Amino acid sequence: MKKAICMLLVCALLSLCLVGCGNDGNSDYTLVIGGIGPTTGVAATYGTAVKNGAQLAVNEINAAGGINGMQIKYLFEDDQHNPETAVNAYNTLMDKGMQILMGTVTSKPCIAVAEVAREDNIFQITPSGSAVDCIKYDNAFRICFNDPDQGTASAQYIKQQNLAQKIAIIYDKSDVYSTGITEKFEAKAGELGLNIVAKEAFTSSSATDFSAQLQNIKNADADLVFLPIYYEAAAYILTQSKSAGLETKFFGCDGLDGVIDQLGEQNAAAAEGVMLLTPFVATAEDAKTKKFSQDYKAAYGEMPNQFAADAYDAIYTIKAACEKANVKGDMSVSDICNALKAAMLQIEIDGLTGKMTWSANGEPNKEPKAMKIVNGIYEAM
Amino acid sequence: MSFISNLIGGLSLGSIYALIALGYTMVYGIAKMLNFAHGDIIMVGAFTIFTAASSLGGNPFVAILCGLVTCVILGVLTEKIAYKPLRGSSPLAVLITAIGVSYFLQSVALLIFGSTQRPFPKLFSLSPIRIGKDLVIKGESIVTLGVTLVIMAGIMLLINKTKIGKAMLAVSEDKGAAQLMGVNVNRTISITFAIGSALAAVAGLFYGLTYNFIGPYTGSMPGIKAFVAAVFGGIGSIPGAMIGGILLGVIENLSKGYISTELSDGIVFAVLILVLLIKPTGLLGKKIAEKV
Amino acid sequence: MKKKKLNLRVLLTYGILAAVCVLVFVLIETGVASRQFKSLVVPLCVNMMLALSLNLIVGFLGELTLGHAGFMSVGAYAGCLLSVYLEGTMPMALRLPLVMLFGGLVAALFGLVIGIPVLRLKGDYLAIVTLAFGEIIRSIILNLDFTGGAAGINNVPRDIYRGSNYLIAFVLVFITLIVITNLVYSKQGRAITAIRDNRIAAESIGINITYYKLLAFVIAAFFAGVAGVLYGHNIGQLDANKFDYNRSIEILVIVVLGGMGSIPGSLIAAGLITVIPEVLRTFSDYRLLVYAIVLIAVMIINASPRMQALRARFSVRRLWKLIRGRRRKKEA
């Protein structure tokens, strides 16, 4: 009897999410953009940044009259950096009448969602899903660089500028972004005759203590450490290398942006001289970035990182493409997608992360900027 | 030279593990429960010190005191609210509640402090010791090791030499009998949790000083590693936690230095399994005679 | 008489589960169900299988393991890799059972190989060693080439997600349920519970402890492996990081929440743990906070001795007896 009651309870819960949220009906006046990313769990920083960055763009657009006269209804769901939860989040958003998908933030969940999004033929633009497979279908585009390109570009840049001969790598063995860049970096470096003297790994479960890795790099006598990782882990590496007396240059990719704020004033010295190849820097002096950084700081109390900028650009890209294709709110998801797919190839965006055009494979064409941290701010190299 | 460097690195990592494992093993030894939320109490301690130091004018001792008091109150409260109602039911039920408490603390911290990691204030300036050209010993490491040793000795004295210690031992042996002998079981367990949580605050302090950054999930990984360390040394044994923690850190660092940084997670656990297969109750664990 | 009652109970579980399955089927096929609901069906089945199999070790054998996700990952990788390899060479109806069986068997083999040395440990030491094995498996998968390292496998055929193939998940849950209930109520099952209740007494009446411990361990690993294959074919990809100790703990939470040694309990708790976080989406930022509070509250209500006593006093059965007793008195 008790069991039957419990079973009924479960059924009741299930039916709660069954009826939960009806579609408000697509009208001429609103366009529903859905976002998915981790706002809880270990990857929460990235998802939160995307959520906030996009919200900022949505607020601006809505205040200025919206897209083709439609107001944007922006919904964001948490995926905890888990592919299964991401698919649930996607379906929840579809229940709520999502017409365009801005997401997902992290690569593995993005790949899972891309599979389902293709079946619905919904237009998908990921701000930061950098694995190649994230946009393998033609309905998907992205704002950020893909991993292999970053690896190749980094090796080329180091060779061109003759930054180092003996290179060490510290990478996150358990992360797609990091392993993806590392793999291509190694290949390109080998091609260009750069000498990789040490390749040190860590994983998500040992990402705070780097004394052994730094010691190995010291033993290998490297003169540059390549860091294809995110700024949290980099902050540990930079502070620990200072106290271990490691005197090398550091070079990173776009994941490293945000390291200045992460280190904070008291550790600022550790960031001095760090170089990175990134499309966005929050402290850049141009009017657009300045305004964005100020607004972001005012709204959320911290400096934006690259994820926030990617998301901001993603929303403006959607706006530009919708205007180009003259998308209306009462069109079906699939019609919107087909119209936007064509429009994406014709638009050019001058966003926070550079001037972008898109090719049919969904990849953006834009130039990374090489930056160096001097006196606590970025300087172009 | 690099061997000594790696060994020192391992000792420094190990002393953090040991410090956390001490709290773990003490609560386990007396209350007979695995407090999976211990790692998260460390996080709370670190965040309290962080907040106190930035808002109360930066007196380090006041900040640490705030951390200690908050953790003690939190520890005793969680015990009263979440664990005490389950006393007498299966230990696994308590374990799951502890996991719930752990999720709870993490999400509260996430809501208050956000997901971005915060730089931990440098409460003391400890200059590193340089021996020769290559050997650098961080000041924080020496202090951590010293404090861990002192705390270990303190707990052992407390348990073996004082009245409340005897009460703890009695409670750990047999709650019912202890009660009959006039021991206030509830109070004893509360005190155990208070001490365990105070240790967590201390661990939070040294974790922050050593690694410089704290976030809402800071405590979970060290918590698991310390649990491993406590079992490695023989869970419930105070010197065992110390030895287990130190050894775990040293093994981890040496395997990164000399075998492979890519496989080091696996190697550490493989060594652990080997040790436990040879000594099934950990290095210093008591062999429990079974009764029919 | 006793035996008949047991069977009745088992049949009731089967019946209710079947009714729920039929209900879900009707809801989905008539288009009433939301998409969120539909996407929860297979993950729920995966969790049910995992919980049922872990319950065999934790509930019936009485040993704590924290490495169940390790077996799940071994099975998932073995089955999904084979499935990728075989895709296109045979129809799905043939390939799917084959890879499920293969994934399960590989996981069972790992269960055997790991079980032989570790099962002489007890309690927390066994828990830690199984946790260690789970982490070693994860570390190895991240370092192997054919498993794709951190990138994992991204081209697993998504057979289960498409169309009405979620019925395959129902079938698998039923197979797991039938095998495990039959085992538990058989002679072997009684031997296993005897070991839990008193190992020495069990040994003294001639029960081969090692054999039965291994039996439970291997069967549990087998179904965890099959659940892993099911998971992979639903989501279309594998990621070693998703099979870490946190996942093992999540399964343990289900088993303990449902009540150790209770099969319907495992099924219900699997439903709760899968559905609650999704229902709580309306709380947005407070989702996990509310989840944590619910978890603690349910544990206290469900397992605390005082609450159990209270529940016994006000249980429906007692109430029923009370009413009937009164009526009888009146009649007399």
Q: What's the mean pLDDT in A9-21?
A: 54
Q: Does B261 touch chain A (CB under 8 A)?
A: yes
The model's pTM: 0.91
What subunits touch chain B, counting only 3 or more CB pairs under 8 A?
A: A, C
ipTM passes above 0.95 = no
State the best of C113, C141, C251, C296 to mutate against chain B, taking most chain B CBs within 10 Å: C296
Nearest to C296 among B97, B266, B270 (CB): B97
CB contact under 8 A, B103 and C139: no
Nearest CB to B221 within list A45, A205, A302: A205
User: Any CB–CB contact under 8 A between B58 and chain A?
Assistant: no
What chain C residue is nearest to A4 in terms of C-alpha separation?
C16
Helix, strand, or coil here: A166?
Answer: strand
Task: Using a CB–CB cutoff of 8 Å, tell me whether A173 touches chain C.
Answer: yes
Task: Please provide the CATH number assigned to the domain covering C2-331.
Answer: 1.10.3470
CB pairs A-B closer than 8 Å: 95
State the Cα–Cα distance between residues A316 and A57, nearest whole angstrom.
7
CB contact under 8 A, B231 and C125: yes
**CB contact B112 to C (< 8 Å):** no
What confidence tens digit (pLDDT) does each residue in A234-249 have? 999 999 988 888 889 9
Over residues B21-35, mean pLDDT: 88
Superfamily designation of domain A27-145+289-365 = Response regulator (3.40.50.2300)
* Among the partner residues B86, B92, B235, nearest to C300 by beta-carbon distance: B86
Count CB atoms within 10 A of the CB of residue C254: 27
Structure tokens at A41: 């769990």
Pairwise pLDDT comparison (C280 vs C176), residue with the higher score: C176
Confidence of residue B67 (pLDDT cuts 50, 70, 90): very high
For A19, counting Cβ atoms within 10 Å of its Cβ (0-12 exposed, 13-18 middle, 19+ buried), the class is exposed
Name every chain B residue with its beta carbon within 8 A of the beta carbon of C288.
103, 106-107, 110
- B207 close to B38: Cβ distance less than 8 angstroms: no
Sort out which chain B residues have CB atoms less than 8 A from A213's CB and list them: 256, 261
**Cβ(C318)–Cβ(C312) under 8 Å?**
yes
pLDDT over 70, % of chain A = 93
Res. A10: pLDDT tops 70? no
Q: CB contact, 8 Å: A83 with chain C? A: yes
- From the list B262, B252, B189, B193, the residue with the least C-alpha distance to B222 is B252
Q: What is the pLDDT of residues B89-143, one digit of tens each?
A: 888 888 889 999 999 999 999 999 988 889 998 887 777 787 776 777 888 888 8
pLDDT single digits (tens) C253-280: 999 989 888 999 999 999 999 998 888 8
Judge whether residue A263 has pLDDT over 80.
Answer: yes
Query: Per DSSP, what are the bridge partners of residue C98?
Result: none
B264 vs B250: CA distance, rounded Å: 12
Instruction: Decide: A270 and A238 in contact? Cβ < 8 Å.
Output: yes
> Could you state, in order of their start, the residue ranges of all structural domains in chain C?
2-331
CB interface of C with B, residues 42-101, below 8 Å? 58, 64
Q: Give the per-residue pLDDT at A21.
A: 43
Interval A76-83 mean pLDDT: 92
Whether A254 has a pLDDT exceeding 90, the answer reads no
Q: Measured between alpha carbons, how far is A29 from C86 in angstroms, rounded to an integer?
A: 49
- Please give the Cα distance from C43 to B84 (Å, whole number): 34
d(C-alpha C289, C-alpha C307), whole Å: 24
Inspect the interface and report whether the beta carbons of B265 and A206 lie closer than 8 Å: yes
> Quick check: B270 contacting C, CB < 8 Å?
yes
Q: Please check whether residue B106 touches C, CB under 8 A.
A: yes
Minimal Cα–Cα distance from C198 to chain B, Å?
7
CATH fold group of domain A148-278: Rossmann fold (3.40.50)
Measured between CB atoms, does A3 come within 8 Å of chain C?
yes
CATH 3.40.50.2300-classified regions of chain A: 27-145+289-365, 148-278
- Cβ–Cβ below 8 Å for C135 and B270: no
> Which residue type does B255 have?
S
A212 at the B interface (CB within 8 A)? yes
Cβ-defined contact of B103 to C291 (cutoff 8 Å): yes
Per-residue model confidence (pLDDT) at position A9: 59
Indicate the pairing of strand A249-252 with strand A224-227: parallel
Q: How far does the CA of residue C138 sit from the closest CA of chain B (Å)?
A: 8
Q: How many CB atoms lie within 10 A of CB A118?
A: 16
- Per-window interface: A 119-148 vs C, CB < 8 A: 119, 131, 133
Which residue in chain A is spatially nearest to C46 when comparing CA positions? A84
Site of tokens 């003297």: A197
